[in-house]
Structure 1
Amino acid sequence: MTRTVLVPSSLVREAEDKREATRKLGYVARAAAVFRVDRLVVYPDSGGEDGRYGGGFVATVLAYAATPPYLRKEAWDVRDELEHVGVLPPLRVGSQTGSGSKGSGSLRQGIVTEVGPDGRVRVNCGLQHPVSLPVPPSMASPSEGARVTIRVSSRRPLRAKLVDEPLPGFTVEREAVETALQRSDAGLRIAASRHGEELTVSRLDSLVQRVDTEGGLTVVFGAPDRGLPEIFGGGPNEETVSTVETSDESDGNEPLARFDLWLNTVPRQGSDVVRTEEAMFATLAPLNLER
């Protein structure tokens, strides 16, 4: 099951300075890590950006936060966007181990530092030294600088292998909302908004069941003082992405809804504005429950 979260490029539009903007993005990354988000997507909201901290800044800081500490020096050069990354909270993404991760040992992320002519690659995966590993026949040979997944079954003596499994933690991408919602693994598509239907205890069970049935979940959030109706130019059942092609059954102008559901997970909110990072915790927590 794939869990995808979308946040706008205008996410830190109200931050007073770069340090505060970085801290806010750290909370967003924490929410993604806590609730096992697979993809964290930054979608364009050019109408809400203030020119200082746009989509490039947001995506860069989130991608840095998602990189394991033992790989950050290898993966990132000195960049202006990363000036205040010292304020980012640690994500401490749990290693997938045992039967729940399709095998014994723990998964670690690594970076390919050298590709050899003998079907082997050298990988920096945060151990004392880079390790030389054979590329399994089922995998295409990764290029230098590629991120790969390593399964470490023993450290003394070292036993590790390259595996064709998703990287631990979440990935950060930049993508349009329409593209993200049309993916085959989008699952149930939810717009998180105070204008949506209120989430209740009695409704939660059927909603979680629906997520399981759809085989995935995609949740889209807005920005401070700029919710989804402002970003998309319409509220529930009003937003459109295209029109249906003319046919015998259609007049050619029927709007297509982006979302399966608009959902308000903070009913009776006590603050005029619920921050995006707060909305992420409030929304992903109940949707993460098991039936």
Structure 2
Amino acid sequence: MTTSVLVPSSLTREAEDKREATRKLGYVARAATVFRADRLTIVPDPDGERKLDGGFVETVLRYAATPPYLRKEVWGTRDELEYVGVLPPLHVTPRTGSGSDDSGSLRQGLVTEVGSDGRVRVNCGMQHPISLAVPSDMEVSEGERVAVRIYSRRPVRAKLVDEPLPGFAVDRADLDEALSRADAGVRIAASRHGVELTTDRLGQLVEAIHGEDDGAGDLTVAFGAPERGLPAIMGIDPDDVGPTDVEDVVTGSESDTTRFDLWLNTIPDQGSEVVRTEEAMFATLACLSLTE
């Protein structure tokens, strides 16, 4: 099961300065972490960008997704990271396997040295980089991030594993590309112009997301920017969004207009004229992460 979250490059357009923009991105990263998003994709919105463009957004989100013990080595000093001290800690929950072959905590590591004996040195947050054997079916290079499963710290017992890294990945992609991925699953546009979420509709939607078909459980949720929702970003009239019927998701109907399976309003009685992107992420992902 894969959960992808799409946010626009104009995400920080209302921020007064770099410090406030950094703080906002920190809450976006928190939402992605809390609800176990696998991928955070930045969708280009050049018409909505202001002083801080998509490059800034991508850099700060990538930094936030990097474990604290690797940040200095990976990022060094960059202008975009001037105020990263205001980022809230993510505290990514270690994933622990249940079987005898994969028990132990999974951590992200950075390859600092590649030896000629089939071993590498990896910085994975221990007191010192550790030497690990490279499995025969893996190829790694210096500077690459890898997954390390740690069984014991004293004495150190760990191995490289070919598994997804803990936390979420950050990338950039056009909207069409992001919505056409093999693991896109149910594609939802979070918008005040969508159908209002109710308890009945939520039950139907959860059933559709976690159905029995191949790829069941995969989910892609897209969000807009402050004062610039998804219709504006996509260049369509708000009255033309669709589908807005949960039945279309349940029956697997295709949309030939906006490329989403459903436009959904998860805050139907909002008390503020503008719901910030990070607020919409918490409200929407909290609902959609529920299971039957």
- Give the Cα separation in 1 of the matches to 2:42 and 2:262: 20
Partner of 1:112 in structure 2?
A: 111
Q: Report whether the alignment pairs 1:162 with 2:164.
A: no
Please say if residues 111 and 120 of structure 2, whose CA atoms lie closer than 8 Å, have aligned partners that are also in contact.
Answer: yes
Partner of 2:9 in structure 1?
A: 9
- Give the Cα separation in 2 of the matches to 1:208 and 1:70: 37
- Give the Cα separation in 2 of the matches to 1:169 and 1:131: 22
Deviation, structure 1 residue 255: 4.5
For residue 111 of structure 1, give the secondary structure of its aligned residue in structure 2.
strand
For residue 99 of structure 1, give the secondary structure of its aligned residue in structure 2.
coil
Does the C-alpha gap of structure 1 residues 237 and 124 become closer, same or farther in structure 2, counting only changes over 3 Å?
farther
Does the C-alpha gap of structure 1 residues 101 and 239 become closer, same or farther in structure 2, counting only changes over 3 Å?
farther
- Give the Cα separation in 1 of the matches to 2:237 and 2:141: 45
Deviation, structure 1 residue 80: 0.2
Does the C-alpha gap of structure 1 residues 229 and 220 become closer, same or farther in structure 2, counting only changes over 3 Å?
same
Residue correspondences, number: 276
Deviation, structure 1 residue 64: 0.5
Partner of 1:184 in structure 2?
A: 182
TM-score by length of 2: 0.91
- Give the Cα separation in 2 of the matches to 1:212 and 1:281: 20
Q: Which region of structure 1 is more displaced relative to structure 2, 280-289 or 203-212?
A: 203-212
Deviation, structure 1 residue 101: 11
Please say if residues 109 and 148 of structure 2, whose CA atoms lie closer than 8 Å, have aligned partners that are also in contact.
Answer: yes
Please say if residues 228 and 235 of structure 1, whose CA atoms lie closer than 8 Å, have aligned partners that are also in contact.
Answer: no
Deviations 1:141-182 (A, max 9, x none): 111111100000100111000000000000111111110110
Does the C-alpha gap of structure 1 residues 169 and 100 become closer, same or farther in structure 2, counting only changes over 3 Å?
farther
Deviation, structure 1 residue 129: 0.8
TM-score by length of 1: 0.91
Of all paired residues, the percent bearing the same amino acid is: 70
- Give the Cα separation in 2 of the matches to 1:154 and 1:19: 40
Q: Report whether the alignment pairs 1:289 with 2:254.
A: no
Q: Which amino acid aligns with 2:226?
A: P
Q: Which amino acid aligns with 2:171?
A: E
Does the C-alpha gap of structure 1 residues 211 and 128 become closer, same or farther in structure 2, counting only changes over 3 Å?
same
Partner of 2:151 in structure 1?
A: 153
1:16-55 paired onto structure 2 within 5 Å: 16-50=16-50, 52-55=51-54
Please say if residues 95 and 168 of structure 1, whose CA atoms lie closer than 8 Å, have aligned partners that are also in contact.
Answer: yes
RMSD, aligned α-carbons: 1.8
Deviation, structure 1 residue 98: 3.2
For residue 197 of structure 1, give the secondary structure of its aligned residue in structure 2.
strand
- Give the Cα separation in 2 of the matches to 1:102 and 1:258: 42
Deviation, structure 1 residue 257: 3.2
Q: Which amino acid aligns with 2:198?
A: T
Q: Which amino acid aligns with 1:233?
A: G
Deviation, structure 1 residue 115: 1.1
Q: Report whether the alignment pairs 1:77 with 2:79.
A: no
Does the C-alpha gap of structure 1 residues 105 and 227 become closer, same or farther in structure 2, counting only changes over 3 Å?
same
Partner of 2:226 in structure 1?
A: 224
1:255-270 paired onto structure 2 within 5 Å: 255-270=256-271
- Give the Cα separation in 2 of the matches to 1:201 and 1:289: 12
Unaligned runs of 5+ in 2: 243-254
Partner of 2:252 in structure 1?
A: none
Unaligned runs of 5+ in 1: 241-253
- Give the Cα separation in 2 of the matches to 1:205 and 1:119: 52
